[in-house]
Each structure stands twice: as C-alpha cells, then as structure tokens.
Structure 1
Amino acid sequence: MVVGSAPLFGVLLALVSAAVLAVGNLWQSRGVNLVSAAAERSGENKTPFIALLKTPIWLAGSALFGIAILLQMGSLAFAPLILVQPIGVTALVFSAILNARVRRAPLPRRVLLGIAISLIGVIAYVVIAALVSKQKPISDGQLIAILVTLAGVLAIAAAIRFGTRGTTKAPIFYVVLGGIFSGFVATLGKTVILRVETMFAGHRMVFDSGSVLTLICILGIGIASALSIYFVQYSHTCNPPDVVIAGLTVVDPAVAVVLGIVILQEATGAPWISFVGFLAAGAAAFVGVVILARAESAEEADPHTTETIERGAQRQAESG
C-alpha cells in the first residue's frame, strides 16, 4: 500500500482516532476532577501535576490521547489534510454516547439532534473533500509559511497569556488555544509525512536546507504538541469534558483546514461551488456541535447527573 493512495483507509483511521480521543478525554477529565477535589479538601488552590501522575485513570486517558494522535498522523499519511482532519468532530458524538453509558440513561432528544446535525455536516464535508482535495509535495516556501504562521500565533498567545496576567479569562479561552495548537500539530505532521515520502521516492538521502526545514518542522510539532497538551489539561480544570472536546473538534479542524487550503493548496482547482459546500457542511457540523455541547453541559449541571458521573469516575479510578 503506497502512502497517500488510500483515502478511505485514512478516513477509517481518523474515525478510530476520534473514538479513542473521546475515551481518553473522558478519562483525563475524570482524573483531573478527582485530583482537583482532593487538592481542595487539603486546602490547595491548584491541581498538583505530581498527583495526576499517580492517578491511574488520568494516566490511562493520557495514553489514549497519545494513541489518538498517532492514529491521526497515520490517517494523514493516506489522505489529504482537509479530508480527514474534520472527521475529528465525531469525537464529540462518541463522547456523548460514552457519557450516556456512564449515566446509564438514554440520550436526550437535544443530544440526538446535535449528533444527527453534526454527522450530516461531517459526512457532507467528507464527500465534497474526497471529490476535490489533492495532496502534493510540500515546497520549502509552504513549509516556511506554516512555521512563520505558527511563530505569529505563539507570539499572540504569549502576549495575551502574559500581557493580561492577573485578569480573569473565560474558561473557553484555554480550550481555543488547545485547539489552535492541535491544528498546527496535524498540519506540521502532514508536511513532515509528505516531505519524508518525497525524499524516499526520489532517493535523495542528503542533508541540505530542505532537511533543516524539516527538522525545524519537527521541533515545531514538539512545541505545538506541548502547548496543546498543557492548555487541554488546564481546560479540564475549568470546563466540563464535553465543552473541552467540543472546542477541540471545532477549532482544531478549522485551523487545519484553513492551513490546508490556503498554504498547502489541497483544494487547488476545485470549483467555486465546492467551497460553498465546504462552508455549508462546516456550518452544519458547527451548529450540531454547539447544540450537543450545550445539551451535554446542561446534563453535567444537573445535580443528580453530576453525582452519578462522580460515582462512575470514582469506580473507574479505584479499578484503574
């Protein structure tokens, strides 16, 4: 099987990645909540990282998070970025189903409505992307453009994060930052995959300026990954798990798709009507995610539901 020659296999890997991510996100959130509750009882204001490392359910969730990233990178090896990255929206669908099983309750109508709208949007988007998307070798200029964009985002994020120190930020702020850097991880990962594929296909095993750029790209993946993980973990301390994964599944694909279309030019030559279809399908998926996240947040806020979830999390932690 040649890398880049099996888009359907790439789509399948992306779906598996979304399912694994949903489970990992749920377990990480439970772990953070357990440690935060213990810290509050002991009079601490912050969630101690060392305590997280001693929490089995958080460690298991982190391992699944890593596996989900590897599966997503695998999907990018077989299909264009703009085709597989938006499939991550289905992680919220899997998350809603998992939460319903934890609560041992049927899915509410609004949750079912959100799932239906999200799936319609994602399926429509994937069909359009499969028809018009193309992938080709990444030029040095394109790679430099991505790295410069990442540097600009890092500068803006640092200015906001430290320039407004002492002021209260909306909890969703950290979710958005986690999603932005996660989108860069996928895009940079795609560039490395394609450049390595081109290198082996052309039998050009030389160390030149292009190789230096690829190494810088790998460094950028490390930085973006670390920041994404940090902000996602922090997001769990001030947001319900469904809000975290909803934000990630909206912001991450949006960033990756914009970079894929504008810089990687994966939709070059596509008719204008396809872009209208992209916007309509993306809007439908976004509306479905919003409905789903709000419905799930309302369920989280219900005292009886919260108590049930906490008991389930405690059981998972004790058995972990």
Structure 2
Amino acid sequence: MLPDVTDLANTISLTPAKAIGIPIALVGAVFLAIGAQLQHRGVVKVETQSETRSSGGLRLGQLFALLRRPSWVFGTLLLGLAVVFQLTSLYFAPIIVVQPLGAIALIITAVVNARVSGVRLTRRAIRSISFCIVGVGLFVTIATITGQSKEISQTELVIVLVLLVVITVAFAIVFALLRKRFEAIIYIVGAGVLYGFVATLAKVVIDRIHTLFIGASDTHGFEWLTLTCVIALIAAAAMGGYFVQSAYSSGPPDLVIAGLTVIDPLVAVSIGIVVLQEAADAPWYAIVAFIVAGILAVYGVFQLSKHHPQTQH
C-alpha cells in the first residue's frame, strides 16, 4: 500500500512554483466578480435609457452606448485584469488546478449583488449556489488526483480546434434561427462553453511560447498551428463576450458568473479528459464521480436561473 500512497502524494502535490498560480487565480476571481457587477450595471442602464428591452441579444447601437457608461468601462478594465491574472496563473499551474478557482467569484458576486440590488437570496437560490460550488470542487479534486498533465500533441490540438469550429458554427446557427427566444441561461451556457475552449487554447499558447523561449529541442515552435490557436482564441473570446453582455440584459450578474465559473472549467477539464486523455489511467469509479460532480454543478446553474429572485416574474 505504501507505494500507492506515495504515488498519490506525488500526483496531487504542487511544486512551490506551481502553487504560486493559486493565489494569482484567486485575485483574478475577485476582479472577475467586481467587474461583472459593474458591467451588469452598465448594461441595465443602457437598456433603461433605450426604453425597449432588447430581445435576442444586444443591438449594435446598445453595444456602442456601453462605451459611454463609466461603470461598464471600469468593469471591463477589471475583467481585463482578471484575464491577465488568469493567464498568469495558467503559466505557473495546470489548468485543472487554477481554472475552477474562479468559482470563488460566484460567492463574491452573489453577496455584492444582493447588497447592491437590495434583493436577498432565497434558500433555494443559496442551495443552487451550493450545488455549483460543491459540484465544481468535487470535479476538480478528482481531476487533480487522477489527472496526468501532459503536453498537447499536434493531432490533439487539431481536434480541439475542429471541435471549437463545430460548436461555434452550431451556436451561430441556433442564434440566427432562435434569436428572439434566447434567454439568459442560453447565453450563459454558450459563453461558458466558448470560454472553456478559450482557457484550453490559452494554456496551449502560453506553454508553446514558454517552450519557444527556453529553446527546448522538442518544441513545435510558434508555427502556423499556434497562430491558428491565437486567432481561434480571439474569435471565441469575442463571441463569448457578446453572449455575456446579452446575458446581463436578461439576468442578474451572479447567475452569469455561476454559469461561467461552472461551465467554463467543466468544459476545459473535460477537454483534458476526453481529448487529451489526461484521465486515461483513472479508475472507473473516478469516471462515475466526474459525471456525478458535473451533473451537480450544472444542475445548480439551471436551478439558480429558475429560483433566483431577479429572474422570477
């Protein structure tokens, strides 16, 4: 039994250099929470001034109007800082460790939004948030114990890019056909899925740039596939950003953050498990636990969209 325990300790332990990524990710989560609240305030004010509630997403004129709202601009700057801290944390630590730490932003946003809006969270809403936190925490704990981080191959990267293209096209078609029927939860799911791919591609680009600078002999270099990753990353981030702003117009900020901090890491870690085979050596009960944890977290998001006081009419 002793060798097994030793192997487990070696698997889940973080070196001091990698552990630096954890506090960096937590600071980014704080910026994410505050920035989301400010952006939500700006979107609500723009919609109020337009005198008509936009159905099927924000219109182009409303998007330009956001640039004139100080709260939205400042919130965007804070979100920019959150992205910088997130990317920095990904440089130091594995994605399965730091990406889900954004769930801390859900707690902060829920508390801040309750105070700002004067709307107290109900027991059902608090229970839904608890499902999100527990589900994500369990999912990542299992991933940290059973997952084996490795460098992504060219073939695996192509698969990730193809999946991103397929999903983006699917969302674009659904958006074009069902634009008027879109509600906050649909935008949130779309943004969470896209940002999950963004996080994965960002980790790939960061690792390849790092490998290029240290001059490793086995590096692929910053070649055309890496450039394709950068382009795909920017496109997915832009589309996800539009979905987030549209979600703010039809839902409270803590619901938006719940979707992003749950669906985003679930997608990113799932890519690592399914495509990159990072959990290939995991026992069968770990796979079952993955599924249960994911269901708990996603269930919490949908329940929060149903029972949040600000989504009930």
What TM-score do the two structures reach when normalised by structure 1? 0.80
CA distance in 2 between counterparts of 1:16 and 1:122 reads: 19
Give the structure 2 partner of residue 190 of structure 1.
203
1:288 Cα deviation from its structure 2 partner:
4.0
Alignment-mate amino acid for residue 94 of structure 1: I
1:60 Cα deviation from its structure 2 partner:
0.9
- Confirm or deny that 1:95 pairs with 2:109: yes
Give the structure 1 partner of residue 38 of structure 2.
27
Report which stretch shifted further, 238-247 or 113-122: 113-122
Q: Which residue of 83, 88, 102 maps to 1:74?
A: 88
Q: Which residue of 28, 48, 54 maps to 1:37?
A: 48
Contact 2:183 2:247 in 1 (8 A): no
Give the structure 1 partner of residue 192 of structure 2.
179
* 1:229-240 aligned within 5 A: 229-240=241-252
* 1:1-320 aligned within 5 A: 6-40=17-51, 46=59, 48-103=62-117, 108-162=122-176, 164=177, 168-204=181-217, 211-295=223-307, 297-299=308-310, 301=312
Contact 1:82 1:261 in 2 (8 A): no
Report which stretch shifted further, 249-258 or 96-105: 96-105
Instruction: Tell me the matched-pair count.
Output: 296
* Percent identity of equivalent pairs: 40
Name stretches of at least 5 consecutive residues in structure 1 with no aligned partner. 303-320
Alignment-mate amino acid for residue 95 of structure 1: T
Contact 2:130 2:300 in 1 (8 A): yes
Quickly say closer, same or farther: Cα 1:53–1:242, change in 2 above 3 A: same
Quickly say closer, same or farther: Cα 1:240–1:158, change in 2 above 3 A: same
Quickly say closer, same or farther: Cα 1:77–1:111, change in 2 above 3 A: same
Deviation per CA, 1:251-284: give whole Å up to 9, x if none: 2222212211122233232222222232333333
Quickly say closer, same or farther: Cα 1:12–1:130, change in 2 above 3 A: farther
Quickly say closer, same or farther: Cα 1:14–1:280, change in 2 above 3 A: farther
Residue 48 of structure 1 aligns to a residue whose secondary structure is helix
Alignment-mate amino acid for residue 89 of structure 1: A
Report which stretch shifted further, 47-56 or 178-187: 47-56
CA distance in 1 between counterparts of 2:224 and 2:135 reads: 40
CA distance in 2 between counterparts of 1:173 and 1:118 reads: 17
CA distance in 2 between counterparts of 1:185 and 1:287 reads: 23
Name stretches of at least 5 consecutive residues in structure 2 with no aligned partner. 1-13, 53-57
Deviation per CA, 1:218-269: give whole Å up to 9, x if none: 1111111111111111222222323322222232222212211122233232
1:91 Cα deviation from its structure 2 partner:
2.2
Alignment-mate amino acid for residue 108 of structure 2: F
What TM-score do the two structures reach when normalised by structure 2? 0.81
Contact 2:146 2:279 in 1 (8 A): yes
CA distance in 2 between counterparts of 1:158 and 1:118 reads: 27
Contact 2:185 2:302 in 1 (8 A): no
Quickly say closer, same or farther: Cα 1:84–1:278, change in 2 above 3 A: farther
CA distance in 1 between counterparts of 2:292 and 2:201 reads: 27
CA distance in 2 between counterparts of 1:106 and 1:166 reads: 31
Alignment-mate amino acid for residue 24 of structure 2: L
CA distance in 2 between counterparts of 1:191 and 1:206 reads: 12
CA distance in 2 between counterparts of 1:216 and 1:287 reads: 34
Give the structure 2 partner of residue 307 of structure 1.
none
Deviation per CA, 1:17-49: give whole Å up to 9, x if none: 2222121111111101111111118xxx94522
Contact 2:262 2:298 in 1 (8 A): yes
Residue 243 of structure 1 aligns to a residue whose secondary structure is helix
Residue 96 of structure 1 aligns to a residue whose secondary structure is helix
Residue 149 of structure 2 aligns to a residue whose secondary structure is coil
CA distance in 2 between counterparts of 1:201 and 1:132 reads: 29
CA distance in 2 between counterparts of 1:271 and 1:83 reads: 20
1:86 Cα deviation from its structure 2 partner:
2.7
